[in-house]
Amino acid sequence: MDFTLLYIVVVLGMSTVLNIILKRLGISQIIGYILTGTIVYYIFDMTHVISSSTLEHIGEFGIVFLMFTIGLEISLSKMNSMKVEIFFNGFLQVSITAFIVYLVSHYLFNLAVIPSMIVSLAFSLSSTAVVLSYLKSSKEIYNPYGQRAMGILIFQDIAVIPILIFLGFLTSKGNEDVSIILIDTLFSAIAVVLLLFIIGKRVMTWLLHFSARSELDELFMSSVFFIVISAALVASFMGFTYSLGAFVAGMIIAETKYHHKVESDIAPFKDILLGTFFIVVGMKINVVYFIEHIGTIIAVFALVFVLKTAVTYAIMRITSSHTRSLKTALALSQVGEFSFVIFAVASAGGLLEKEIESLFVLVVIFSMMITPFFISKINRFVSYISNYQYLGLDTTAFMSRKNHVILCGYSVTGKFVAKNLDIIDAQYVIIDNNPKHVQEALNDGKEAYLGDMSKLALLEALHAESSAAIIVTLDNIEKKRAVCEAVLEHTKNVNLVVKVSSLEDKLNLQDLPITSIVDDKVEVGRILVERMMTCQIGGKRQ
C-alpha cells in the first residue's frame, strides 16, 4: 500500500496545528516544521524515506524559491551598489571564520587536517533559510543591518560552489589537476551567465509579458514556476547550486516591470516549500543520540556562536557603526543549511567519520532551532547594551489604524508637508529609507519609521489600504515610480498625491492613475500670481 498520501495529510495537519499553537506563544513557525518532521519520522519509522534523495531535492527547493525572492530585491545596479556588502564583507567573513575554526578544530580539539578543514568551511556559513525568512517577514531586510546581513549571505551561497569543488578534489585524492577543475568551473560560470542573462532574459520577459496579458493568474504563475525551476536546473547542470540559478533569475526579473507582481504571487508557494525543507531537517534528528550528547552539542554551538559573532563584528566595524555591526554579527552567528550538504559530501567521500558527521549535523540543527528564538530579540538586546533608538517598523502600531496619512519622504518638501499636516491636526506617519531623515523626524517629535515604500510587504504592514491618503515627496525618479506602482497595485482606491519637479518627472508618471500630481514649479508660479493679486499697490506707474 502506498502511504504517500497519508504522510502528506499527517504532515499538513500536524504542522498546521503546531504552528497555530506556537504562533500564539510567539514562537517561529520554523520550530513547528522541524518538530513536525521529527514526530512524523518516529511515528511512521521513515528511515527508508529520509535516505531518499528525492525528499532532499523537494526540501531544497524551499531555499531555491527563497533565493529567487531575494534576487527580486536585487537588480544588477543594486548588486553593484552592494559590492562592499557582498564581496568585501562576505569574503572576509567566510575566509577569516573558516581559518579561525580550523585552528580551533585542529590544534585545540586535535581533529585531523582534512576533517578540520571540512568543519571550518561548513561552520563559516550561516542559515539563509532562517535569517532571510525572518528579515523578510519583519521587514528588516530593508534596514541597513538587514542589507548587510543579506549581502554576506549572498556571498556565502556563492562560496558553496568552490567549497564543493574543493571537496570533490579531496575526494578524488588529487587524480584530477586543480587547474583543470578551475578552468572547467570558469567555463561553466560563463555559460550560465550567457544562458541566463542573454538568452534567458529574453525568454523570461517574453513569457511574463504574454502570460500577464492573458489576465489568467494561473498562467502567469506557471510561467514564474517554469522560469525559477529552469534557471535552477541550468545552474545545477553546470555544476552550481540550484539556489544560485534561482537567485540570478530573480535578479533578471528585478529589471522588468513585473517584479512586484511576481514577488507577491510567489510568496505563499515559497513559504510552503521552505516549510518542507525544515520538515526534512526535523527528520534528521536522532533523538536518542541528541539526548546522549546534548552537553557536547550545546558546547560546540556556544563556541561557534561566540567565534562567528566576534569575527563578523570585527569585519563589519571596518565599514559600519557599532550597533549595525553587532546586529549583523548576531544575526549571522548560527550554522547554515548548506553545512548539511558539505557534511554529506565529505562523509560519502570518506573524508569524515560517521560519528563526527552525526554530531556536527545535530549542532547545525540545534543552531537552526535556537536562532528563531533570539534573532527576533536582537534589536532589543543591542538597544539595551548600546543605548540607541531602534528605527525599525513596529507593525503592531498599525493593527487597527484607519484614515491615517502616510508621508513618504522627509527631506525638505516632506518637512513642510508635515508642518501643514500638523496645522490641520491630521494623523500621519512618516516613512523614509534614509536613516538620517528618520532620525530627524524622530528628533522633531514625529512618528517615523525606516522602510522602503516600494515593497508590498511594507504597504501591508502600514495598512495602506485603510489610509486616507499617501503623499510621496521623494526626489529620485526611479524610486518615486517604484513607490507609485507598488501603492497602486496594493491599494486600488487610495488617494495618491505625488510631487514632481521636472517635465521628465511628470512624463515618467503620466501612464499611472495617480490621484494628483503636484508640479512644484507650477504651484510656485500660481502662488506668486495669487500673492501679487492680493498685495496692496503703493502707487501708479508713470
Distance set, CA 225 to CA 231, 249, 267 (Å): 10, 11, 12
Nearest to 497 by CA among 521, 520, 478, 530: 520
For residue 78, the 8-state DSSP code is H
Per-residue pLDDT of the chain (542 residues; tens, 9 = 90+): 456 677 778 888 888 888 888 877 767 777 888 888 888 888 877 766 655 566 666 667 777 877 787 777 666 676 777 788 888 999 999 999 999 999 999 999 899 888 999 999 999 999 887 888 788 777 677 677 888 898 899 888 778 777 877 776 777 655 555 566 666 666 776 777 677 777 777 888 888 888 877 777 788 888 888 888 888 888 777 767 677 788 888 888 877 777 777 877 777 777 777 788 788 878 878 888 889 999 999 999 999 999 999 999 999 999 887 888 999 999 999 998 788 878 877 877 788 888 888 889 889 888 988 888 888 888 888 877 776 555 555 555 555 577 889 999 998 899 999 999 999 988 899 998 887 888 888 888 888 887 778 877 678 777 788 888 999 998 888 888 888 888 888 777 789 999 988 888 888 888 888 888 898 888 888 888 888 887 755 444 44
8 Å CB contact between 514 and 499: no
pLDDT at 139: 67
For the sheet containing 428-432, what is the strand order? 448-450, 428-432, 405-408, 469-472, 496-500, 516-519
Q: Which residues contact 252 (CB under 8 A, 6 or more apart)?
A: 71, 196, 197, 200, 201, 204
Looking at every residue in the chain, the average pLDDT score rounds to 81
Q: 414 by DSSP, 3-state: which?
A: helix
Q: Tell which residue, 317, 376, 358, has the closest CA to residue 148.
A: 317
Kind plus residue range of the DSSP H or E element containing 425: none
Find the Cα–Cα–Cα–Cα dihedral 32, 147, 432, 394, rounded to 10°.
20
Identify the pLDDT of residue 185: 64
In 433-510 the beta strands, taken as DSSP E runs, fall at 448-450, 469-472, 496-500
Other CB atoms closer than 10 Å to residue 137's CB: what's the count? 15
DSSP-based three-state secondary structure for 262: helix
Quickly count helices (H) and strands (E) in the chain.
27, 6
pLDDT of residue 541: 46
Cell digits for 104?
Answer: 580551533
- Whether 43 contacts 7, CB under 8 Å: no
Return the pLDDT at 532.
Answer: 81
DSSP letter string over 299-326? Answer: HHHHHHHHHHHHHHHHHHTTTS-HHHHH
Alpha helices in 376-476 (DSSP H): 378-386, 412-423, 435-443, 456-461
**What are the tens digits of pLDDT across the range 146-183?**
888 988 998 887 787 778 777 767 776 555 555 666 66
> 500 in helix, strand or coil?
strand
Give the angle subtended at the CA of 237 by the CAs of 234 and 242, to the nearest 5°: 65
| CA nearest to 160, candidates 76, 86, 244 | 244
Q: Which residues contact 419 (CB under 8 A, 6 or more apart)?
A: none
- Looking at residue 227, what DSSP letter applies? H
Q: What is the distance between the alpha carbons of residues 110 and 114, in angstroms, rounded to a whole number? A: 12
Between CA 302 and CA 296 the distance in angstroms is 10
Q: What is the pLDDT of residue 542?
A: 44
- Half-sphere exposure in the Cβ direction for 413 (13 Å, CA): 18
Q: 515, 423, 424: which is closest to 470 by C-alpha?
A: 515
Q: What pLDDT does residue 48 have?
A: 64
Quick one: which of 231, 188, 240 has its CA closest to 207? 231
List alpha helices for 491-536, DSSP H: 503-509, 520-534
List the grid coordinates of 155.
Answer: 556571498
Give 344-402 as a DSSP string. Answer: HHHHHTTSS-HHHHHHHHHHHHHHHHHHHHHHTTHHHHHHHHHT----S--GGGGTT--
Distances (CA, A) of 261 to 141, 257, 453, 477: 19, 9, 15, 20
517 forms bridges with which residues in the sheet?
498
CA-based max dimension of the chain: 108
Which structural domains are found in the chain, ordered by start? 77-266+294-386 (1.20.1530.20), 395-534 (3.40.50.720)
Q: Which amino acid appears at position 92 of this protein?
A: L
Q: What is the pLDDT of residue 393?
A: 55
- Residue 157 identity: D
Give buried/exposed letters for 369-387 (b at 16+ CB in 10 A, else e): bbbbeebbebbeebeeeee
